Amino acid sequence: MSTLDATVSMLEAMPEDARIKVLEFTRQLFTSRKPANPFVPVGAQQVLSDLAESRRQTAEGKGLDMEDALNRMGKQHGFI
């Protein structure tokens, strides 16, 4: 299942009032004068440091399979 398919599936499973809240939030993101990105810019050194840490964790078996994680979250929240 693609990310788009999963998103549509979640939206279809939501009650109408929840879909309206999602629509309002999405609309706000596109009409806000403030940037929607909550992340602060970081330099190349920070990106490389984060990448090294991520690779270390993956090598130690601490990584998660994203598809499994998304399916687990979907089931936990009643979307799947």
> pLDDT tens digits for 40-67?
888 999 999 999 999 999 999 998 888 9
Residue 46's H or E segment, with its range, is helix 44-59
pLDDT greater at residue 38 or residue 28: 28
CB 79 within 8 A of CB 10: yes
What's residue 39's pLDDT? Answer: 77
Nearest one of 77, 66, 70 to 18, comparing CA atoms: 77
Q: How far is CA 45 from CA 2, 37, 50, 77, in A?
A: 33, 21, 9, 37
